[in-house]
Amino acid sequence: MEIAKANGGYEADRRRLLRLKCSVKDYAWGTIGSDSLVYRVYTANSDDRIDSTRPCAELWMGTHESGPSYLEDDADGSNGVTLRSWIAENPESLGDRVLEKWGCDLPFLFKVLSVARPLSIQAHPDKVLAKKMHKAHPNLYKDDNHKPEMALAYTQFEALCGFVPLQELKSVIRAIPEIEELVGSEETNQVFCISEHDEEKVKSAVRTIFTLLMSACPDTTKQIVFKLKRRLHMESQERHLTDKERLVLKLEKQYPNDIGVISAFFFNYVKLNPGEALYLGANEPHAYLFGECIEVMATSDNVVRAGLTSKPLDIQSLCSMLTYKLGFPEILKGSKIRPYITRYLPPFEEFEVDVCDLPCGASTVFPSVPGPSLLLVLHGEGRMSTDASADEISMGDVLFVPADTEIHLKSSADLKLYRAGVNNRFLYSL
């Protein structure tokens, strides 16, 4: 085995690739057993056995303490040295710009998600708010960092994301009388009296309506959700329900009496095809619904929840922190940067993702960059080499690539590989 594994000798050549063993999460919304991409990748990556009757929701790759990656030990397979501790002893592996900006840690967290049922309606605080929340409630909000993120669809992938455009919101309020019942006609009528060009008034009106809706008392919410469900079932006998209405009925089955059922009408219903990506800034509401994706984010695990979950809610914080921007989110389709490699470049300094689809027998190169990377093999087999190491790779392999390391790939079977790294716009900015 030529790719670096044991801790000894790394200092001799910081450009050697490090094989990693990664952490898995069994959140209730995950896909069960071998139907889960997370399960299949984790069992290929790790010698640990996991219960195939349990959900496998997320595979974490990186340095976050809630799901650390470990250096594979060449001697006995034990998990002793975390990637974070190795980086602390070898800070030059991050590159000068990354080390100066973010200190002695990876600025991004890489994940695989297998979503069988909806995640909570949630948002992630910006840096200022994250510091305040972490200081006030460190057990609940464990990080003082923001958490912009990007989800890249591996299968068909569905999500609720951001508030619908103003004209669609007006149509929603007209079509869904239960919203007016919950928040009052005076408040809902505000929406019809403002122009989309008056951005601050639009945000103010939506903030008022959404906060009143989310703050409704449980008994009233239960009654209104039941009324909504009954009406939609009756109307389905007379007409085809919209995609959003069918989604709401599905949510109600999974989370009966939850205010998140009605609030779903306020959000864009996004359906990604494989190879399409969605990115989210701080303080933007969203809920992943179904499918499998590759996700990358700033290194943080702060989540503020307000519906579609049995976990603790913080409705007041979520409603006060949102940006209330309206409009459909940008969908990234990636840009070819060289043969077989497509790049997804969101507007965040911490991360980007490259996807390599390499046919059997083909070769390509990931040029060296002045920042660290994580590589994930999701399909196929091949050979990976640098000027310091070379080895065979296959599904489930996860590797840390130090800064300034050029990687040569050749596939022996159709190979699909993902690379997460620091955003090139940051690395090469003046």
Mean pLDDT per block of 10 residues along the chain (430 residues) reads 46 72 96 96 90 95 96 59 97 97 97 97 95 92 94 98 97 97 94 91 96 96 97 97 98 96 98 98 97 97 94 94 97 97 98 98 97 98 92 97 97 98 93
Q: Are 297 and 149 in contact (CB under 8 A)?
A: yes
Compute φ and ψ for 361, nearest 5 degrees: 90, -10
Q: Which of 25, 28, 27 is nearest to 42 (CA)?
A: 25
C-alpha dihedral, 252 to 253 to 258 to 264, nearest 10°: -30
406 among annotated binding-site residues: no
**Residue 12 has what pLDDT?**
39
Euclidean distance between CA atoms 263 and 221, whole angstroms: 11
Was 122 annotated as part of a binding site? yes
> Long-range contacts of range 389-394, CB-CB < 8 Å, 24 or more positions apart?
389/2, 389/3, 389/4, 389/16, 389/17, 390/2, 390/3, 391/1, 391/2, 391/3, 391/17, 393/417, 394/44
Q: Are 364 and 338 in contact (CB under 8 A)?
A: yes
Please report the pLDDT score of residue 140 as a whole number.
87
Helices (H), 236-276: 243-254, 259-263
Residue type, 280: L
Q: What pLDDT is stored for residue 99 in this prediction? A: 98
Known binding residue 156? Answer is no
What lies within 8 Å, CB to CB, of 328 at 6+ separation is 162, 164, 165, 268, 270
Q: Which residues of 266-300 are buried (b: 16+ CB within 10 A; e: fewer)?
A: bbbbbebeeebbbbbbbbbbbbbbbbbbbbbbbbb
Sign of the alpha-carbon torsion through 388, 392, 394, 396: negative
Q: 146: annotated binding-site residue?
A: no
- Please confirm, yes or no, whether 230 is among the known catalytic residues: no
What are the start-end ranges of the H helices in 268-349? 315-321
Helix (H) or strand (E) holding 202: helix 199-214
Q: Are 118 and 290 in contact (CB under 8 A)?
A: yes
Q: What is the pLDDT of residue 198?
A: 92
Strands 277-280, 331-332: parallel, antiparallel or unpaired by DSSP? Answer: antiparallel
Task: Using the CB atoms, write b or e for 369-402: b if 16+ within 10 Å.
Answer: bebbbbbbbbebbbebbbebbebebebbbbbbbb
> At 177, which helix (H) or strand (E)?
helix 177-183
CA pair distance 356, 375, nearest whole angstrom: 10
In angstroms, the CA 268 to CA 258 distance is 19
CB 249 within 8 A of CB 233: yes
Q: Which pLDDT value is given to residue 265?
A: 98
The one catalytic residue in 19, 40, 117, 305 is 305
pLDDT of residue 4: 52
Rounded Cα distance between 59 and 26, Å, is 9
